[in-house]
Amino acid sequence: MPPLMRRIFWFLNKFFMVPMFRLGFGPFFGNPFSGYIMVMKVIGRKTGKLRFTPVNYAIYKGDVYCISGGRATSDWFRNLLANPEVDLILPGGSIHAHVEEVTDPELRLILTRQVFKNAGFAGFFEGYNPFTITDDELARKIEDLPLLRFHPLGLGSGASDAGGWAWIWTFVITVILIILLLR
């Protein structure tokens, strides 16, 4: 991905997508065109700070999978390796999970393709069509692309739980309705 495009995505993710998920609007953003997105709550390996990272994902046999488009150099990828327990905010709810890198070649091929398909227009950023590329060609292109499996351990905290932001918009709407009713 060109540096300018990477910068645009960083800005949109940080100032739009993450706040929308934290406010509880995640279910409104998943579709085949823009992609299906989850937000990971990752602990920084150096700072210990909580970081929010949106990624495309796929669900398969009870586990959640995503890829690191920035390869093994992505900060969030290295943070997950250092702190492998993470909360995931999915559009349908939140889970607490343990992450591990998938090494099985057959599973990597199937699930990397599915994550790219679930990514909507972003699934084409690697320079090929995830719907039509052959298995052999895809296997060559994803050799250095980490695939991560998140195995659910329990519930995570979401937008409507303590620390989430869903209370903000519900509070604002309630105040507006009270003001309108008292007029």
CA distance 12 to 113: 24
Q: Which amino acid is at 45?
A: R
Q: Could you give the number of structural domains in the chain? A: 1
In this structure, how many other beta carbons lie within 10 angstroms of the beta carbon of residue 157? Answer: 14
CA distance 176 to 104: 54
**SS3 call for 39:** strand
Half-sphere exposure of 144 (CA within 13 A, CB side): 6
**SS3 call for 33:** coil
pLDDT of residue 8: 87
Tokens of 183: 């007029």
Structural domain for 72, as ranges? 3-182
Q: CA end-to-end span of the chain, whole Å?
A: 53
- Beta-bridged to residue 85, according to DSSP, are 98
Name the pTM for this structure. Answer: 0.85
pLDDT of the chain, 183 residues: tens digit per residue: 678 877 888 888 889 989 998 888 888 888 888 889 999 999 999 999 999 999 999 999 999 999 987 778 789 999 999 999 999 999 888 999 999 999 999 999 999 999 999 998 888 878 889 999 999 999 999 998 999 999 999 988 777 777 788 888 888 999 999 999 998
pLDDT of residue 1: 63
Going by their DSSP bridges, the two strands 37-43 and 50-56 should be labelled as antiparallel
CATH label of the domain that carries residue 29: 2.30.110.10
User: What 3 state SS string does 143-158 have?
Assistant: CCCCEEEEEEEEECCC
Q: Are 93 and 43 spatial neighbours (Cβ–Cβ below 8 Å)?
A: no
CA distance 100 to 84: 7
